[in-house]
Copies of this chain bind each other. A is one copy, B any other.
Amino acid sequence: MRKTKGAAVNKVAMGVDIGGTNSKLGYVDADGNCLASMSIPTRPNQAAKLFFRRLHENACRLFSRLPAGYDLIGIGIGAPNANFLKGTVENPPNLDWGMVDVLDEIRNYYDVPVAVTNDANAAALGEMLFGAARGMKDFILITLGTGLGSGIVANGELVYGADGFAGELGHTVVDPNGRTCGCGKRGCLETYCSATGLCRTVSELIGSTTIPSELRDVSFRELTARKIFRSARRGDPLAVKAFESCGATLGLKLADAVAHLSPEAIFLFGGMAAAADLLFDPARRSMEDNLFPIYRNKVKLLPSGLKENTAGMLGAGALIWNLTERH
């Protein structure tokens, strides 16, 4: 693939958002515009090598659709269990990849800078460069999906920590004797605050209370965060209580995060964040109640400023733009 088409005037970064089922790739300019994008099946049971070959083929085709004069300055990749410092993806939970040296895989096809990070870190960078965190030097982004991920920015830089795995707020402890977590521990935040956590709360409330609810007719297997959201919007008291419980637990642990980092803002991103006031109101209340007094009424709890369907790509592209003088 040629890096440059015609007289290079415009720079573009490739952003790749690797998911368990589908992966998205797009070309992102310095202002966070996604100039062209597509989705490809990830095929999680195939070897990583085959994925990166397909990625390259599709990326070439997509690049040819850009207007003339674009120069590819680098490739940013967001992936589960990605390690920025090592350039690896390490045993991602939903992909049969084992340990993959992503930088090596990409170098088979491209001679441009490559960077890899996990989806929450990519989202935080996207938010900082192109979203609602523009101009902020200290903030936290929380991704609320199946699980709970987080990206932390301090002093204007993403915090990777000593081993590249900083920002796992989903596995801070709410209750050492609490719910069992997929990680092997008990009482992790994401067992309460995530789509899965919300379903577990509904199930517990069905058992522990006599609050009437249409969700008493739904099996746990059939239950989704979206169903609980719709019930709550219709005023179902048990569904509302589940959101309140989820928000209260989130707020408690966000207050802890503030005591570490004193961020200007905390952003909620992902499917669950769409629950808006149902989640934000109890989370904000609980956070303020649990904040050390010097932090009170200072920390904004905000929805992400990026659209969910492109945020992954933008964030991955931001990985490259963050290393580069943008204008």
Q: Which residues of A contact B (CB under 8 A)?
A: 136-139, 152, 154-155, 157, 159-169, 171-173, 176, 183-185, 188, 252, 255-257, 259-264, 290, 292-295, 298-299
A137 CB, min distance to chain B CBs, angstroms: 7
Please determine whether A260 and B262 come into contact, CB atoms closer than 8 angstroms: no
A187 CB, min distance to chain B CBs, angstroms: 9
| Residues of chain B lying within 8 A (CB to CB) of residue A294 | 163, 165, 168
Please determine whether B256 and A256 come into contact, CB atoms closer than 8 angstroms: yes
Q: Could you name 5 residue pairs across A and B whose Cβ atoms are closer than 8 Å?
A: A155-B160, A161-B263, A162-B299, A173-B252, A176-B290
Given contacts A155-B155, A185-B292, contact A173 B255 (CB under 8 A): yes
| Residues of chain B lying within 8 A (CB to CB) of residue A152 | 260-261
Please report whether the interface of chain A is mostly helix, strand, loop or mixed according to DSSP. loop
A246 CB, min distance to chain B CBs, angstroms: 15
Please determine whether B169 and A260 come into contact, CB atoms closer than 8 angstroms: yes
Please determine whether A154 and B163 come into contact, CB atoms closer than 8 angstroms: no
| Residues of chain B lying within 8 A (CB to CB) of residue A252 | 173, 176
The chain B residue with its CB closest to the CB of A248 is B176
The chain B residue with its CB closest to the CB of A167 is B260
A224 CB, min distance to chain B CBs, angstroms: 26
Select one of B154, B188, B263 contacting A154, CB under 8 A.
B154
The chain B residue with its CB closest to the CB of A91 is B294
Please determine whether A295 and B262 come into contact, CB atoms closer than 8 angstroms: no
